[in-house]
Amino acid sequence: MLWYKAFRRATYAGLTGALVWTVLLVLPFEPFSHLLPIVEHGGPGTWFLLAYLLFLIIALAGFGVLTSLLYTIEMQEKRVPNQSIMLSGYALLIVGVFSSCLLLALGGALGGYAQTVNNDPQSQVQSILSVYVYPITTTALLTVLGAALTLVAMIEAKQSA
């Protein structure tokens, strides 16, 4: 298996997701019309904005750079990364990035809606956000573990026979 192709597909999926997310941000009908005011208001909206920016950076630039590095390793240097380590790293990266950004965005959108549209008290907004803290932390750690495994597999890639 050529891993640069797998990461290229992940980059394409990230680009597609970024395009959809951007379109949803600017749609003029509910519930999407509330997203930009939620971001503008700050607070939980910052979570949503952070998720959007992290998704753009990691799913596009991060996976794109990994594609390029893996292309160099696999095609130019003719080295092969350890398949099991690479598979584990790839799976954890994909699951971690997409779930972390989704949870961060969902928490920010729901908390921001409660704060901006419903004018709920801060304690209610905090209780909405607190539900997302542990899952986001867990998925972020999965992402870091996936990145570390991918890096190890790339560094330890062996010359092909």
Q: How many of the other CB atoms lie within 10 Å of CB of 18?
A: 15
Write down the pLDDT at residue 105. 96
Residues in the chain: 161
Report the pLDDT value the prediction gives residue 47, as an integer from 0 to 100: 95
Residue 25: other Cβ atoms inside 10 A: 15
Task: Tell me what pLDDT residue 160 has.
Answer: 80
Q: What is the pTM of this model?
A: 0.90
- Residue 89: the pLDDT is 98
So what's the pLDDT on residue 51?
96
What are the sequence ranges of the domains in the chain?
3-159
For position 77, what pLDDT does the model report?
A: 96
| pLDDT in the model for residue 118 | 93
Q: Return the structure tokens found at 68.
A: 């390029």
Q: What pLDDT is stored for residue 147 in this prediction?
A: 97
- According to the model, what pLDDT value does residue 1 have? 85
Cβ atoms of 108 and 51 closer than 8 Å: yes
Residues (pLDDT < 70) of the chain are: 161
For residue 98, give both structure tokens: 């997409």
